[in-house]
């Protein structure tokens, strides 16, 4: 088999554009290589073995109780003034005692529910994977596996919130199996099987050790023809034309009404194609909004994913990773935005608890939501924020004695309380998180030209916090952010909790200015407070200092780039309005090490470099990931090189890097081809959304470039291109604006 699977292209594969899916010619041996489907609530990780298939079922709500469900933020407000006095007096280690001395408490860890097992009825005939192919189609969300004798199709419906699987061609034993790596030995599991007129109902209930909390999985089997008999712990199906499986999982306390869930599943259409059509109206509409075509070699486009990954400099690989990144990001966003592993895991021992990590990871993964036209991702982030806003208020009160809201650095999705901290990770001191989490919601409002009242209310809460927190001043009368923390770094020769981290300054300033824009009646006070914050500092190396306080020296070899928050995702520092600070930020980027080679560090570096118009540095950072063997055959990524630790940071952030290298926008500016890299000599990017309320198509090549701007509102913007010094464009709603520049005739 050498051709691109027909379902992943339109027309002649040799002449078609980018491939919107990936495929392999063998089933997955490892769960990390299983193809993925999801609807932002349920997830499915599919091995694709027609003789012994496994579909690992996940759900965003599945977190294991570990004591964190009862954890509260530390009551430290009464000690805050004394701490501030000590830090202002130069006691650099004073914040190490600002704790209630609890041991480090991780958030409740994310885990899989169970695996749906479909095993061929025992036979002496050997397995023969003749003409075998497994695929995942990004446009539909379907994973398929087919060989001589049998097929399987799986998707997770956005319309009906159910995992749908159809199997044909083989006699099967079917059961629900909780035995996955790391599953607790004392997990209390009960299973049930009931034959129904149409097939069977399978249930699996698991209660967590030493807890009243549990989860229940329910699978309804609709069998066409043949016979269905009990075969512990599930059923045996023989002679059937096809089997439709509908699966849901619920986390709960007490007992789940399984009969009610059976009725709900029975009420759904019992034809696979009918269920798929309902799903496609939501999924395909979202996926098809944006296209990246890099005019890649058709022969490389025809390679399966595992072979394409062996060509890290292939433009076909960049096309497919861009498409896969948007697909996986969409598929993991719904009830919540993506976790560290997105929405998927095949192991109960998820690294870093599979948390929502808010001091870089969630933020990087959702970076493309506005520009890459996935408001579903922004909506999912908003759902998490607004569900936890009361907890953010409690953090502000308990730790800082303040009104308003402070976001935690880690969350399991249930709680937004700050309780994960230690001496080496004093995350309870970090106050910039709310601004970073709210930034995509503000971008979304700018793009659509409307302000969400919930976003406005959350911004006001953050501004109220700064009103109460920013009370200490230096000798010049400037406000001091104290205590201050730059995730997850510390000054040379000092301790973690300190003063005036660059990120905290940028976040406080941005939060106050943004809240003022949303609330004009409160603007004078918030604007005045923002104006009293100190400026950034340039250190002796000519670099923007990570701590603006003199005497706090930089530690350069670190995976986080928190101090350049003012460059990306903010626009506080940019080459157009603040060229001197932009030069200092660029110097800071040059001096930054990669520390442990984490994917998020490399791609964070690339995003900042793109804002600073350094295409070579974008290419180098991106190359570190592509050369580092970070991607599994599933095109989901790892945290470290050589596919070490399953993690969605690289997969979900890569589309943002490519978009930022090609198109950047603010409410008043459009920048085209700011950081073009050698791997992108020509191509098309269609459907990008801008923050001034327009859709944009961009085509570029050696001869020049052309952009079509389709504004939804009338507005004047500044334009910057790869060759121009800048001009103004007067955009009129509903009127396309065509821009061309470069040598000869643009493509």
pTM equals: 0.97
Final residue before a domain boundary, out of 265, 287, 309: 287
Mean pLDDT, residues 573-585? 97
The domain in which residue 473 lies consists of 361-370+390-592
Q: Is the pLDDT of residue 109 over 90?
A: yes
pLDDT, tens digit (0-9, with 9 covering 90-100), for 680-708:
999 999 999 999 999 999 999 999 999 99
Cα–chain center distance at 397: 29
pLDDT of 747 reads 53
Answer yes or no: is 127 within a domain. yes
CATH number assigned to the domain comprising residue 235: 2.70.98.50
How far is 739 from 747, CA to CA, in rounded Å? 12
How far is 619 from 317, CA to CA, in rounded Å? 14
**Would you place residue 12 in the very low, low, confident or very high pLDDT band (cuts 50, 70, 90)?**
low
Answer yes or no: is 3 within a domain. no
Strand 669-672 to 715-720 pairing: parallel
Assess whether 365 and 272 both reside in one domain.
no
Per-residue buried b or exposed e for 730-741, using 16+ beta carbons within 10 Å of the residue's own CB: ebeeeeebebeb
How far is 318 from 301, CA to CA, in rounded Å? 10
Final residue before a domain boundary, out of 260, 287, 314: 287
DSSP for 647-663 reads -SHHHHHHHHHHHHHHE
Query: Which tokens belong to 35?
Result: 């193809």
How far is 138 from 161, CA to CA, in rounded Å? 18
pLDDT, tens digit (0-9, with 9 covering 90-100), for 522-556:
999 999 999 999 999 999 999 999 999 999 999 99
Assess whether 46 and 160 both reside in one domain.
yes
Query: Which tokens belong to 49?
Result: 């073995």
Strand partners, 292: 685
Instruction: State the chain's mean pLDDT as an integer.
Output: 95
Residue 301 per-residue DSSP state: H
Q: Is the pLDDT of residue 125 over 80?
A: no
64-67: list long-range contacts, CB under 8 Å, 24+ apart: 64/108, 64/109, 64/111, 64/184, 64/208, 64/348, 65/108, 65/208, 65/210, 65/211, 65/213, 66/106, 66/108, 66/109, 67/105
| Distance between start and end Cα atoms, the chain | 34
- Helix (H) or strand (E) holding 621, with range, is helix 615-626
Final residue before a domain boundary, out of 570, 592, 614: 592
Assess whether 278 and 366 both reside in one domain.
no
Q: How far is CA 235 from CA 47, 130, 204, in A?
A: 21, 27, 14
Tally of CB atoms within 10 A around 225? 11
CATH number assigned to the domain comprising residue 513: 1.50.10.10
Answer yes or no: is 605 within a domain. no
pLDDT, tens digit (0-9, with 9 covering 90-100), for 492-513:
999 999 999 999 999 999 999 9
How far is 358 from 487, CA to CA, in rounded Å? 10
Tokens 């409160």 -> residue: 522
The answer to whether the beta carbons of residues 662 and 264 sit under 8 Å apart is no
SS3 143: strand
Answer yes or no: is 583 within a domain. yes
Query: Which tokens belong to 97?
Result: 């005692």
Query: Which tokens belong to 182?
Result: 């790391």
pLDDT, tens digit (0-9, with 9 covering 90-100), for 180-217:
999 999 999 999 999 999 999 999 999 999 999 999 99
At how many degrees (to 10) do helices 579-591 and 599-611 cross? 150
Q: Is the pLDDT of residue 3 over 80?
A: no
The answer to whether the beta carbons of residues 251 and 213 sit under 8 Å apart is yes
Assess whether 420 and 552 both reside in one domain.
yes
Answer yes or no: is 660 within a domain. no
Answer yes or no: is 119 within a domain. yes
Sheet holding 188-196, edge to edge: 21-24, 133-137, 142-147, 150-156, 163-168, 242-253, 213-224, 199-207, 188-196
Q: How far is CA 5 from CA 10, 27, 320, in A?
A: 10, 16, 14
pLDDT, tens digit (0-9, with 9 covering 90-100), for 378-423:
999 999 999 999 999 999 999 999 999 999 999 999 999 999 999 9
Q: Is the pLDDT of residue 645 over 60?
A: yes
Assess whether 123 and 244 both reside in one domain.
yes
Strand partners, 155: 164
Assess whether 366 and 267 both reside in one domain.
no
Name the domain count of the chain: 2
Answer yes or no: is 431 within a domain. yes
pLDDT of 8 reads 85
Q: Is the pLDDT of residue 164 over 80?
A: yes
Assess whether 279 and 396 both reside in one domain.
no
Q: Is the pLDDT of residue 290 over 90?
A: yes
- Helix (H) or strand (E) holding 195, with range, is strand 188-196
The answer to whether the beta carbons of residues 399 and 391 sit under 8 Å apart is no
How far is 335 from 582, CA to CA, in rounded Å? 38
Q: Where are the alpha helices (DSSP H) in 415-499?
A: 433-448, 453-469
Q: Which conformational region is residue 55 in: left (phi greater than 0), alpha (psi within -120 to 50 degrees), or beta?
A: beta
SS3 679: coil
State residue 692 phi and psi, 5-degree precision: -100, 15
Residues 6 or more apart whose Cβ sits within 8 Å of residue 559? 594, 595, 596, 598, 600, 601
Mean pLDDT, residues 327-334? 98
pLDDT of 126 reads 63
Assess whether 260 and 365 both reside in one domain.
no
Between residues 724 and 282, which one has the greater pLDDT? 282
The answer to whether the beta carbons of residues 339 and 356 sit under 8 Å apart is yes
Q: Is the pLDDT of residue 1 over 50?
A: no
Query: Which tokens belong to 721?
Result: 């291109």
Q: Which of 80, 113, 111, 83 is nearest to 95 (CA)?
A: 83
Assess whether 262 and 366 both reside in one domain.
no
Assess whether 283 and 431 both reside in one domain.
no
Answer yes or no: is 280 within a domain. yes
């Amino acid at each position: 088999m050498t051709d691109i699977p027909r379902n992943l292209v339109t027309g002649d594969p040799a002449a078609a554009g980018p491939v919107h899916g990936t495929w392999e010619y063998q089933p997955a041996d490892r769960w990390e290589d299983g193809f993925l489907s999801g609807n932002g609530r349920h997830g499915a990780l599919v091995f694709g073995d027609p003789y012994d298939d496994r579909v690992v079922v996940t759900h965003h709500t599945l977190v294991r109780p570990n004591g964190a469900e009862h954890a509260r933020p530390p009551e430290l407000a009464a000690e805050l003034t004394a701490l501030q006095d000590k830090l202002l007096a130069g006691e650099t280690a004073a914040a190490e005692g600002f704790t209630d001395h609890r041991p480090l408490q991780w958030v409740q860890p994310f885990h899989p529910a169970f695996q749906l097992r479909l095993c061929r009825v025992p036979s002496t005939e050997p397995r023969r994977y003749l003409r075998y192919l497994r695929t995942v189609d990004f446009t539909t969300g379907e994973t398929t596996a087919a060989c001589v004798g049998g097929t399987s199709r799986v998707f997770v419906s956005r319309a009906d919130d159910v995992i749908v699987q159809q199997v044909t061609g083989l006699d099967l034993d079917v059961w629900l199996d909780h035995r996955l790596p790391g599953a607790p030995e004392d997990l209390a599991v009960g299973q049930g099987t009931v034959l129904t007129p149409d097939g069977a109902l399978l249930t699996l209930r698991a209660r967590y050790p030493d807890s009243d909390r549990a989860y229940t999985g329910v699978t309804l089997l609709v069998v066409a023809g043949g016979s269905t008999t009990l075969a512990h712990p599930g059923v045996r199906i023989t002679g059937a034309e096809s089997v439709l499986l509908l699966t849901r999982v619920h986390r709960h306390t007490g007992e789940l009404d399984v009969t009610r869930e059976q009725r709900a599943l029975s009420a759904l259409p019992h034809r696979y194609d009918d269920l798929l059509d309902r799903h496609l109206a939501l999924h395909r509409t979202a996926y098809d909004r944006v296209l990246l075509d890099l005019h890649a070699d058709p022969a490389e486009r025809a390679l399966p994913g595992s072979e394409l990954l062996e060509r890290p400099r292939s433009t076909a690989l960049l096309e497919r990773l861009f498409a896969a990144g948007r697909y996986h990001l969409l598929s993991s966003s719904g009830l919540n935005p993506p976790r560290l592993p997105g929405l998927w895991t095949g192991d109960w021992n998820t690294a870093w608890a599979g948390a929502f990590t808010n001091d870089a990871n969630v933020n990087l993964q959702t970076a493309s939501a506005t520009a890459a036209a996935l408001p579903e991702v922004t909506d999912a982030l908003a759902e998490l924020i607004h569900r936890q806003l009361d907890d953010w208020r409690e953090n502000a009160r308990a730790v800082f004695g303040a009104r308003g809201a402070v976001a935690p650095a880690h969350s399991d999705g249930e709680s937004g309380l700050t309780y994960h901290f230690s001496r080496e990770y004093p995350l309870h001191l970090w106050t910039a998180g709310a601004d970073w989490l709210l930034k995509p919601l503000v971008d979304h409002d700018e793009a659509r030209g409307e302000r969400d009242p919930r976003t406005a209310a959350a911004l006001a809460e953050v501004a109220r916090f700064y009103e109460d927190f920013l009370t200490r001043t230096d000798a010049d009368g400037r406000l001091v952010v104290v205590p201050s923390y730059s995730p997850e770094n510390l000054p040379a020769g000092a301790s973690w909790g300190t003063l005036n981290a660059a990120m905290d300054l940028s976040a406080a300033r941005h939060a106050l200015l943004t809240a003022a824009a949303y609330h004009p009646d409160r603007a004078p006070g918030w604007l005045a407070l923002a104006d009293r914050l100190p400026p950034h500092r340039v250190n002796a190396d000519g670099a923007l200092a990570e701590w603006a306080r003199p005497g706090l020296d930089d530690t350069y070899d670190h995976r986080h780039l928190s101090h350049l928050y003012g460059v990306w995702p903010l626009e506080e520092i940019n080459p157009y309005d603040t060229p001197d600070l932009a030069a200092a930020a660029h110097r800071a980027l040059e001096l930054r090490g990669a520390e442990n080679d984490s994917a998020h560090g490399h791609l964070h570096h690339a995003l900042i470099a793109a804002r600073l118009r350094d295409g070579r540095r974008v290419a180098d950072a991106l190359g570190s990931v592509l050369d580092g063997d970070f991607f599994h055959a599933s095109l989901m990524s790892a945290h470290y090189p050589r596919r070490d630790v399953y993690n969605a940071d690289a997969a979900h952030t890569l589309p943002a890097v490519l978009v930022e290298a090609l198109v950047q926008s603010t409410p008043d500016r459009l920048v085209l081809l700011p950081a073009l890299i050698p791997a992108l000599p020509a191509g098309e990017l269609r459907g990008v959304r801008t923050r001034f309320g327009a859709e944009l198509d961009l085509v570029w090549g050696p001869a020049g470039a052309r952009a079509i701007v389709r504004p939804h509102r009338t507005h004047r913007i500044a334009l910057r291109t790869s060759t121009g010094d800048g001009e103004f464009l007067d955009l009129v709603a509903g009127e396309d604006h065509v821009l061309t520049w470069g040598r000869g005739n643009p493509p």
